[in-house]
Amino acid sequence: MPAMPYLVLAVFALLYLAATVLVQLPLLVAAVYGVMSITCFAVYAIDKRAARAKAWRTPEKTLWLLGLLCGWPGALLAQQWLRHKTAKRSFQVVFWVTVVVNMAGFAWMTLQYAHTNG
Protein backbone atom coordinates (compact mmCIF):
# COMPACT_ATOMS: atom_id res chain seq x y z
CA MET A 1 0.00 0.00 0.00
CA PRO A 2 2.98 2.42 -0.24
CA ALA A 3 1.69 3.92 -3.51
CA MET A 4 -1.65 4.98 -2.02
CA PRO A 5 -0.35 8.11 -0.25
CA TYR A 6 1.23 9.32 -3.48
CA LEU A 7 -2.00 8.61 -5.33
CA VAL A 8 -3.91 10.79 -2.84
CA LEU A 9 -1.37 13.59 -3.36
CA ALA A 10 -1.70 13.24 -7.14
CA VAL A 11 -5.51 13.36 -6.97
CA PHE A 12 -5.38 16.46 -4.78
CA ALA A 13 -2.86 18.10 -7.12
CA LEU A 14 -5.16 17.43 -10.09
CA LEU A 15 -8.19 18.76 -8.20
CA TYR A 16 -6.22 21.84 -7.19
CA LEU A 17 -5.03 22.37 -10.76
CA ALA A 18 -8.58 22.01 -12.11
CA ALA A 19 -9.91 24.44 -9.50
CA THR A 20 -7.16 26.92 -10.34
CA VAL A 21 -7.89 26.75 -14.05
CA LEU A 22 -11.68 26.78 -13.74
CA VAL A 23 -12.22 29.35 -10.99
CA GLN A 24 -8.85 31.13 -10.82
CA LEU A 25 -8.13 30.38 -7.17
CA PRO A 26 -6.05 33.09 -5.51
CA LEU A 27 -2.33 32.38 -5.10
CA LEU A 28 -2.89 32.69 -1.35
CA VAL A 29 -4.48 29.22 -1.33
CA ALA A 30 -1.32 27.64 -2.75
CA ALA A 31 0.80 29.67 -0.34
CA VAL A 32 -1.20 28.43 2.65
CA TYR A 33 -0.92 24.79 1.57
CA GLY A 34 2.80 25.25 0.86
CA VAL A 35 3.68 26.96 4.12
CA MET A 36 1.57 24.60 6.21
CA SER A 37 2.98 21.54 4.43
CA ILE A 38 6.57 22.66 5.03
CA THR A 39 5.74 23.44 8.66
CA CYS A 40 4.04 20.09 9.13
CA PHE A 41 6.95 18.21 7.54
CA ALA A 42 9.38 20.01 9.87
CA VAL A 43 7.29 19.19 12.96
CA TYR A 44 7.17 15.51 11.94
CA ALA A 45 10.97 15.54 11.49
CA ILE A 46 11.45 17.12 14.91
CA ASP A 47 9.12 14.55 16.45
CA LYS A 48 10.95 11.68 14.72
CA ARG A 49 14.25 12.96 16.13
CA ALA A 50 12.69 13.25 19.59
CA ALA A 51 11.35 9.71 19.35
CA ARG A 52 14.82 8.36 18.59
CA ALA A 53 16.35 10.39 21.44
CA LYS A 54 13.58 9.41 23.89
CA ALA A 55 12.93 13.14 24.39
CA TRP A 56 9.73 15.21 24.67
CA ARG A 57 7.37 14.35 21.80
CA THR A 58 4.96 16.47 19.82
CA PRO A 59 1.41 15.58 20.85
CA GLU A 60 -0.50 13.63 18.22
CA LYS A 61 -3.30 16.19 18.42
CA THR A 62 -0.83 18.83 17.25
CA LEU A 63 0.20 16.71 14.27
CA TRP A 64 -3.44 16.12 13.36
CA LEU A 65 -4.30 19.81 13.70
CA LEU A 66 -1.40 20.90 11.50
CA GLY A 67 -2.50 18.38 8.89
CA LEU A 68 -6.10 19.53 9.07
CA LEU A 69 -5.01 23.14 8.63
CA CYS A 70 -3.70 22.44 5.10
CA GLY A 71 -0.45 20.75 6.15
CA TRP A 72 -1.50 17.21 5.33
CA PRO A 73 0.48 16.99 2.05
CA GLY A 74 3.67 17.71 4.00
CA ALA A 75 2.60 15.31 6.73
CA LEU A 76 2.00 12.59 4.18
CA LEU A 77 5.43 13.10 2.64
CA ALA A 78 7.05 13.14 6.08
CA GLN A 79 5.33 9.92 7.03
CA GLN A 80 6.62 8.23 3.87
CA TRP A 81 10.11 9.68 3.66
CA LEU A 82 10.90 9.66 7.39
CA ARG A 83 8.94 6.47 8.12
CA HIS A 84 7.24 8.24 11.00
CA LYS A 85 3.75 7.53 12.36
CA THR A 86 3.03 4.97 9.65
CA ALA A 87 2.73 1.88 11.84
CA LYS A 88 0.40 3.26 14.50
CA ARG A 89 -3.05 2.39 13.17
CA SER A 90 -5.01 4.61 15.57
CA PHE A 91 -2.94 7.61 14.49
CA GLN A 92 -3.43 6.78 10.81
CA VAL A 93 -7.21 6.48 11.15
CA VAL A 94 -7.52 9.99 12.61
CA PHE A 95 -4.94 11.35 10.17
CA TRP A 96 -6.92 10.13 7.16
CA VAL A 97 -10.12 11.56 8.61
CA THR A 98 -8.38 14.96 8.78
CA VAL A 99 -7.26 14.58 5.15
CA VAL A 100 -10.82 13.86 4.03
CA VAL A 101 -12.18 16.77 6.08
CA ASN A 102 -9.56 19.13 4.67
CA MET A 103 -10.23 18.04 1.08
CA ALA A 104 -13.98 18.41 1.61
CA GLY A 105 -13.38 21.88 3.05
CA PHE A 106 -11.20 22.75 0.07
CA ALA A 107 -13.93 21.61 -2.33
CA TRP A 108 -16.61 23.54 -0.43
CA MET A 109 -14.53 26.74 -0.29
CA THR A 110 -13.68 26.41 -3.98
CA LEU A 111 -17.36 26.11 -4.86
CA GLN A 112 -18.19 29.09 -2.67
CA TYR A 113 -15.41 31.11 -4.30
CA ALA A 114 -16.65 30.12 -7.76
CA HIS A 115 -20.21 31.08 -6.85
CA THR A 116 -19.28 34.51 -5.49
CA ASN A 117 -16.74 35.30 -8.24
CA GLY A 118 -18.43 33.61 -11.18
Q: Is residue 53 situated within a structural domain? A: yes
Q: What is the pTM of this model?
A: 0.92
User: Which pLDDT score, from 0 to 100, does residue 1 have?
Assistant: 47
Is residue 76 assigned to a domain?
yes
Phi, psi torsion values for 95, nearest 5 degrees: -55, -50
Is 20 part of any domain? no
Residue 6 lies in a domain: no
pLDDT at position 118: 67
> How many domains, in total, are found in the chain?
1
What average pLDDT values come out for the chain (118 residues) when binned by 10 residues?
Answer: 84 94 94 98 98 96 98 97 94 97 96 89
Is 22 part of a structural domain of the chain? no
Sequence-ordered strand ranges (E) for the chain? none
In contact, 50 and 58? CB cutoff 8 Å: yes
**The domain containing residue 64 runs over which residues?**
28-117
Asked, for residue 57, whether it belongs to a domain, the answer is yes
| 69 lies in some domain | yes
